[in-house]
Each structure stands twice: as C-alpha cells, then as structure tokens.
Amino acid sequence: MSPFAQALARSRPQTRSSRRWLFVPYDQLHDGIGPLANEPPHELGIVLVESRAKAGRRPYHVQKLALVLANMRHFALEQQARGVLVRHVATKGDYASALAPLARELGPLRVQRPAERELRIELQPLFANGSLVEVPHEGWLTTADDFAAIPGPPWRMDAFYRQVRRRTGVLMQRGKPVGGKFSFDAENRRAWDGDPPAPTELTYEPDAITREVCELVRRDFGKHPGTLRPEHLPATRADAERTWQWALRECLPWFGPFEDAMSTRSTSLFHTRLSPLLNLQRVLPKQVLADALATELPLASKEGFVRQILGWREFVRHVHEATDGLRSHAGVPIERNALAADLHLPAAFWPSKPSGLHCLDRVVHDVWHEGYSHHITRLMVLGNLATLLGVLPDELSQWFWFAYADAYDWVVEPNVLAMATYGTGDLMTTKPYVAGSAYLDRMGDYCADCAFDPKTTCPITRLYWAFLARNAERLAGNQRIAMPLRSAQKRSPADKERDAAVAAWVRGTLAHGRRLDPADAP
Ligand SMILES: Cc1cc2nc3c(=O)[nH]c(=O)nc-3n(C[C@H](O)[C@H](O)[C@H](O)COP(=O)(O)OP(=O)(O)OC[C@H]3O[C@@H](n4cnc5c(N)ncnc54)[C@H](O)[C@@H]3O)c2cc1C
C-alpha cells in the first residue's frame, strides 16, 4: 500500500452514526469555511477527487500538479485527524463521473460554489439532477452586491476597492480612509538595488506523502513542462501557516515601496508568494487580511497589500463571474482580441527557446523553474512583450494558465485577457499596460546582461512605437494614452519606417523560433 493510502486507512475515524457528506473541490482545502467550519467534524464526511483528466487537460507545470495533489492528500489526513471521514477517489476520468455514483451511495453532496467556471460547467448536470447541492463559498471577502454597487461595465478596480473599504470599514476612520487617501500606489514605485536584502525563499522538508506525489507526477505527467522542486512545495496546513508568517515578517514591511521593482537576483523580492496557497484556500484571505491589519507596518505597505487581497483578487473574480468568464455580459458578447493581435505564441515562451531579449528569457526561465514570478514581471515583461508583439490574447492566457502554479480560470483570464493584453478593451482597465526599454531598465536589472543596449539597440522601444502606430485608430479617444499616441504620431517618417521594420523583424524571428541578434536588426 502507498504511504498515503496507509496513512488514510490508519487515521480513519470510527463511524457510529451516518454522516452528512460534502464534496470538497481541489481549491477549497480549509476547514475554516463552509460546513467544515460550522458543523461537528464527527457528523461530516468529505469526498476528495483526484482527476487525471483534469490534470492532463493542459500541459500544467509539474510543480502545480504536485502542489495541488500534495495539498489535497495532506488535507485529507488533516481532516481525518479532526474526526471527519474522508472518501478519497483517484480517477482517470473527470469529477462528474467520479461523483455521480458517490452521490447515489452517500446521498446528495453539498459543495461550496466552485471558484472555477470550468468546474462549475462540468458539474452542472449533477447540480441539475440534485446529486450536488450548492452552498455559498465562504472563502471570499466580498459579495456580488459589492460588485453590483459600482458602475459598469466598464468596471474599475478603484471604485470597487473604495466601495469595499467603506462597506467593511477596513483601513477607515470616521468614514475617511486612514492616511487621507485610499491608495498609496504613487509612492510605491522604487527600483531595488539590493538594499534592503530580499527575503530568502522558504524551503520545506518533503514527507513520505509529498515524495509519493512527486513520484506520481514524474511517472504519470513526465511530459509536462517545468521543474519539480519538492523542497519548495508547501504541502501541509503547517507549511501554509509558516509561509504566511514568513511573508508577514519578511516581505510585508517592504511590500509597498518595491512593489513594482524587478530583479534577476530575486524572483519575488518583497512579494509574498502566497497566491498558490490562497487560491487553494490553504491560507484563508480573511486570516491574511486580519493579520496584516493587526500588524504594525508602514501604511504604504499595509494599504498596498490590502488592495491586492481585498481589491484586485476579489475584483477579478467578480469580473470573471459577471461575464461568464469574459465571454458575455447581459447577453452581449465580449470582445477578447480588441487590438486585433494575430501572432501565435512564440516558442520563446517555452523552456530552452531563448528570444535573445534577456528580460523575456530570464522571466520565462524563472517561470518554468518555479511556476511563479511576481506581478510586475507577469505584467510588464511577459504581458507587455506579448502585447507589443501582437500575441493572440487567448493563447497567452492558456500559457499563463498552465505555466503558473497559482493559475485558475477565474484569476488568470481577467489578468491576461483584460489587464495584461487589453484583449477585452477597456472592460477592466483604462489603457494597455505597455512600455519600452526605458521602463524595463529603470525598474529592473535585466538589461545589464542583455546583448541589446536599452538606450540604443533594444528593439522593445521600437516595438512600443510600432504598437502605438498600429493601434492609433483603435485607441483614439482614450485620454489615458493620448500623450504617447501624440508622441508616436510626431516621430519622423524615417523613424516610423524603422519602427515598423524592427517590429516585423522581431515578430518574424520569434515566430520562427529563432533568436534575436543585434547584428541582424534592420
Ligand atoms: C498576466 C498576469 C497573469 C496573472 N495570473 C495570475 C494567476 O494565474 N493567479 C493569480 O493568483 N494571480 C495572477 N496574477 C495576479 C498577480 O500577478 C499574482 O496574484 C501575484 O503575482 C502572485 O504573487 P504573490 O503571491 O507574491 O503576490 P503579492 O504581490 O504578494 O500579492 C498578494 C496577493 O494579492 C493577490 N493579488 C495581487 N494582484 C492580483 C491580481 N491582479 N489578481 C488577483 N489576485 C491578485 C494574490 O492573491 C497575491 O497572492 C496575474 C497577473 C498578471 C499581470
């Protein structure tokens, strides 16, 4: 018997009476929410399903597969230790076909509303025939009413965040925001030169159960990309708690000022690395919020972090729900490629196919190594370059979905299709997040090791001008980008011609999976 099966059998609680059964999806692994929090453990049973069909649906990063499976298995044992009875099912098929017979045997299963649209759709027939009964998901911090209270579409995170701050009283004093303003974002734009030192990433000692999961992933999903790093896998409730305490102590004091900084010396800098655990509910957003509020921190850091947890994370989930996964709203289809991008995702986004642009290659390398990179590298390196190149937003979104350990449809799609690529136009953001090499050079240290010079030869700046020229009509009337558009228009005919030629060269070279060389530039 495998170590996990043995441990599960050994810890099986005595069952004297019948139990009320719940289905716990892979991303609801906490007993601080829902029936597990509100009802006696010895009256409950939970069903956990490991679905090979789901794991194989996309080439998910091996670290993500191991993260989800190891956490599900440890959660099963943690629940049995509390007296909850566990039915753990490993199936080659999908969730619905595993759950249907169990619902016949155990009676209707309650489930907190699944966060992922993909899972909701799969389970729809079971909800329809009463095999599954939906109860509210208690892991969210905000409600549909909070979202309905703001104007939109288009929706704006700032309006949502202000509404939620007022409604909850978080960082509010006598009806006013603490410190006199709702956001200290403008003060949080420092580059990082090594001082203060970045926190050292935590490591975790893999136990027999985690090691078994890693073997399973290697054996059954050996063709999936990415590096499997067992010692970087938080797998137990205690690991999750330790990660949060590390983040609170080591990262949050400097979270604000260096929020936008990027460095080859640290993939996370003062970011918390919490998203993989928050999105599995191994750490609860309400706990994170309460602890951060109760801790003495500089206000710009505290508010900056609160905005991510109470603002952005909740906001993107509401946008996803309200738009059927960015497909339609109020019966009207949503555009997903507003800038008419037409380039297939270049090979440079995969391991060992470098583009020659050090910023891109380094972040892509980090992602395949860790299944993680922080927000600004996602937005201003990967998203920015893909948008400047005109990469198809849906292809980029799929890539983010399988490359990152924290990706689930409700969070990855709004961030890629709406925020990073402007694929859905102004649905959620006011303008495309695009920048040339000066920004990358100012906020990061990639350029020092690049074959291109950020001030002279780096093609990213010409890509930027070519992007503005290409999209001038589509972006006309957008006040937030009017100034760069005017500057693009004022460029000399020779510059405009060269911008277009460089853009065509970069797109063509990367489309063919080749590496950019300064000597080949037009
Ligand atoms: C192109 C792109 C793709 C992204 N894909 C994902 C994804 O698949 N999964 C994911 O969780 N986040 C995604 N994000 C949002 C954000 O980049 C990550 O949540 C963050 O980088 C995770 O690292 P961290 O935990 O160190 O974050 P920190 O900077 O420490 O932030 C704390 C927490 O705030 C939340 N948060 C911050 N920004 C966002 C945001 N824009 N949307 C949702 N939550 C946010 C996260 O839960 C995060 O853990 C994406 C952003 C971009 C631009």
**Residue 394 corresponds to which tokens in the numbers above?**
């849906």
Q: From 38, 29, 31, 25, select the one nearest 111 (Cα to Cα).
A: 25
Q: What is the pLDDT of residue 16?
A: 66
Ligand 1 pocket residue status of 363, Cβ below 6 Å? no
Give CA separation, 175 vs 103, 151, 183, 425, in Å: 49, 21, 15, 34
Q: Report which of 135, 132, 84 is spatially closest to residue 108, judged by C-alpha positions.
A: 132
SS3 51: strand
CA of 14 to the centre of ligand 1 (A): 42
Spatial CA neighbour of 269 closest among 406, 374, 367, 186: 374
Q: Are 121 and 50 in contact (CB under 8 A)?
A: no
Nearest CA to ligand 1 atom 43: 313
For 448-476, the pLDDT digits (tens) are: 999 999 999 999 999 999 999 999 999 99
Query: pLDDT digits over 335-347, tens only?
Result: 999 999 999 999 9
Ligand 1 centroid distance, CA of 409 (Å): 13
CA nearest to 288, candidates 68, 79, 115, 32: 32
**Residue-wise pLDDT tens digits, 368-411:** 999 999 999 999 999 999 999 999 999 999 999 999 999 999 99
Q: Quick check: CB of 288 below 6 Å from ligand 1?
A: no
Which ligand 1 atom minimizes the distance to the CA of 285? 47
Question: Residue 36 in contact with residue 44, Cβ under 8 Å?
Answer: yes
Dist. CA 271 → ligand 1 center (Å): 10
- Please tell me if the CB atom of residue 301 comes closer than 6 angstroms to any atom of ligand 1: no
pLDDT band at 185 (very low <50, low <70, confident <90, very high): confident
The pLDDT tens digits of the residues spanning 286-319 come to 999 999 999 999 999 999 999 999 999 999 999 9
List the structure tokens of 292. 């951060």
Q: Is 146 in the pocket of ligand 1 (CB under 6 A)?
A: no
Alpha-carbon gap, residue 8 to 86, rounded angstroms: 8
User: How far is the centre of ligand 1, averaged over its atoms, from the C-alpha of 219 (Å)?
Assistant: 30
407 lines ligand 1 (CB under 6 A): yes
Instruction: Tell me, in angstroms, the distance from the centre of ligand 1 to residue 238's CA.
Output: 22
CA distance between the termini of the chain: 63
18: DSSP letter: -
pTM: predicted TM-score of the whole model, two decimal places: 0.98
Q: What are the C-alpha distances in Å from 502 to residues 70, 122, 514, 517?
A: 47, 45, 15, 12
Instruction: Name residue, tokens 């925020």.
Output: 419
Q: Which of 435, 469, 441 is nearest to 455 (CA)?
A: 441
Ligand 1 contact, 141 CB (< 6 A): no
Residue 483 C-alpha to ligand 1 middle, in angstroms? 29
Residue 322 has pLDDT above 90, yes or no: yes
- Provide the token pair at 247: 């983040």
Which atom from ligand 1 is nearest to the alpha carbon of 276? Answer: 11
Q: Distance (Å, rounded) from C-alpha 79 to C-alpha 85?
A: 7
| Residue partners of 272: CB distance under 8 A and separation at least 6 | 244, 247, 251, 252, 255, 305
Residue 8 and residue 77 in contact, taking contact as beta carbons nearer than 8 Å: yes
For residue 313 and ligand 1, the question of a CB distance below 6 A is answered with yes
From the CA of 40, how far away is ligand 1's center (Å)? 34
